Structure 1
Amino acid sequence: MATPRVREPRPASFWLLGGVFAAFVLFLYGPMLAIFVLSFQGPEGGLTFPMRGWSLYWFRQLWEGIGVVDIGAALRRSLALGAVVMVCTVAFSLLAGLAYRKKLPGGTPLFYVVVASLIMPSIIVSLGIGLLFRLVDTGAKAVLEAHFPALLDAYTSALGMFTSGLGAQLTWTLPFGLLIMFAVFNRFNPAYEEAARDLGASPWQAFRHVVLPLIGPSLVGVGMFGFTLSWDEIARSSQVMGDFNTLPLELQGLTTTVTTPVIYALGTVTTVISFAVMGLTLGLVWLWRRHRG
């Protein structure tokens, strides 16, 4: 008869490290949980504890609008820009990953240039892109004034969400997408692709029916990174959005003027959208793998 195994007591270092980890998690998520709780206060609620009732009052206030700021329009702008950034990040990261599977002339300097944008101060990137587009404005107005004066009054600026704003955010999302695709193709077994070619598949057919299904879940993850990074971006967007602000920029401005829990309600809504995108991504990956299985 087997002797029952005696469970050894955990060493003191386990409890010490566990306490450090618990303190880190509390430090990381405690402020966010506090905002969630305070956003559900009653009409007499304030910006600090203790709670003053429970209700959805401040969410109704948010829906009706906050002063002169159109939160609904800012939300739609952020969703639209995030969707475009997501598509561009997936497409460019995939193309770059495929290009780097073989020896690419100038590939090493290009890689360092792309990754360098991760370590550069975000505000410097934003200022540089904003300055570049203002120079474009100056050149465009000079050309219009010299050759097409009738069009000069109609020209406003090259600065905008889907021009300079899109470019600034791609400097943040593309390096992450590229690094993910490098990791994916580093583990990719080319034997599957070679077998398809041996069976008569064209390069496009081998990519569509072999490579793409295998790397599909990773592409979904790249898309999630692209959207969530764009959704939360402030520093790189601060100098390049032109006449319209995204939701994070509006939220940053409201923190100095709004003194009610409606700002917490807005933070709760934006966080819920971020978690919803991550949940949708995980669901798509699960469905993809189940379909393959």
Structure 2
Amino acid sequence: MNANGIKLGLAFYTTLFIIFLYGPLVVLAILSFQTGPEGGPQFPIIEWSTYWYKHLFGLTPPSRIAPLPIEEGLVRSLVLAVMTMIVSTVLGVTSAQAFRTHFKGSGVVFYLIVLGMMVPGVLVGLGMALVANAVGIDRHWWGTTFVLHVVYTYPFAFLVMLAIFNRFDPSVEEAAWSLGVTPARTFRKITFPLIFPGVLSAMLFSFTLSYDEFSRTLFASGRDLTLPLAIYGTFSVEVHPNVFAFGVLTTLFSFALLGTYAVLMSLSVRRARRVAVQEDV
């Protein structure tokens, strides 16, 4: 097969992948503009309307369709995701920093860290629930669920930072140390600005994985539901387009988060380049 054929094959595969990835989102967006309150998730659209978006914010008259129970779940998921992001990123950076120098048992420690992302979430959640019940610990989203989310997201942050440190030039730090700069100040003023793009990536991984986590949360959250559990609970009764409207808003939030990440990444890369130019001069 010649080069043109390979390019066409890759282009065709990429197009199918994009359709497969974003096709459900398009259908979700179309169904969210169904008329209400009687309109349901069906094609063709009976009448285009923003009724279900107004319904999310309580701007419609009372009807038989109850509002989505997402307010408290959304707050819990956001707080939990931020807590997980902070802890997992700090652990990922410090662990990857430690792995820059070989130490006895590093291979065992590496696989123990990575194991957290490999064990099925349902089994881990069930195991946490059984342990909590056995020792008399109440299950809460800010306790048992938080621990499970950190165990799950920490390996992702660790692997991201490990890849960043593998490409890091240690001579920059050695030059600072030779000038009498303390290791702590060297990390704060030199190392951290250079690895900040990787830190942003670790933060994004940890936040999104925690915000969307379902299986590990199912058994460990107790009576307080996070957003994925609250949405799942509405499916067992009846599906209405208000769920699709909320899905569209959540997708827009995700794109906004990615946009913020892209801006911060661009700024950090420019800063790192300026630092590199100053060192060359």
TM-score by length of 1: 0.84
The reply to whether residue 99 of structure 1 matches residue 92 of structure 2 is: no
CA distance in 2, matches of 1:218, 1:259: 40
Matches within 5 A, 1:246-285: 246-285=226-265
CA offset at residue 181 of structure 1? Answer: 1.0
The reply to whether residue 206 of structure 1 matches residue 186 of structure 2 is: yes
* 1:50 corresponds to which of 20, 44, 49: 44
Decide whether the 8 Å contact of 2:173 with 2:190 is kept in 1. Answer: yes
Instruction: Return 5+ residue gaps in structure 2 as ranges.
Output: 60-64, 275-281
CA offset at residue 48 of structure 1? Answer: 2.3
CA distance in 2, matches of 1:55, 1:291: 47
Aligned to 2:54: 60
Aligned to 1:18: 11
- Deviating above 6 A after TM superposition, structure 1's stretches of 4 or more consecutive aligned residues are none
Aligned to 1:163: 143
* 1:27 corresponds to which of 11, 15, 20: 20
Letter in 2 for 1:216: F
* 1:240 corresponds to which of 220, 224, 227: 220
Structure with larger Rg: 1
Letter in 1 for 2:75: R
The reply to whether residue 38 of structure 1 matches residue 21 of structure 2 is: no
CA offsets 1:189-245 (integer angstroms, 9 cap, x no match) = 000000011111011111111100100111011101111011111011110011201
CA distance in 2, matches of 1:267, 1:89: 27
SS of aligned partner of 1:131: helix
Aligned-pair identity in percent equals: 34
The reply to whether residue 177 of structure 1 matches residue 157 of structure 2 is: yes
CA offsets 1:45-101 (integer angstroms, 9 cap, x no match) = 321221233332101112229737531111111110011011011110011011111
Decide whether the 8 Å contact of 2:153 with 2:209 is kept in 1. Answer: yes
TM-score by length of 2: 0.88
CA distance in 2, matches of 1:291, 1:12: 41
The reply to whether residue 70 of structure 1 matches residue 69 of structure 2 is: yes
CA distance in 1, matches of 2:263, 2:157: 20
CA offset at residue 159 of structure 1? Answer: 1.2
Instruction: Return 5+ residue gaps in structure 1 as ranges.
Output: 1-8, 138-156
Decide whether the 8 Å contact of 1:255 with 1:263 is kept in 2. Answer: no
Matches within 5 A, 1:96-245: 96-137=95-136, 157-245=137-225
CA distance in 1, matches of 2:89, 2:262: 16
RMSD across aligned C-alpha pairs, in angstroms?
A: 2.1
CA offset at residue 257 of structure 1? Answer: 1.6
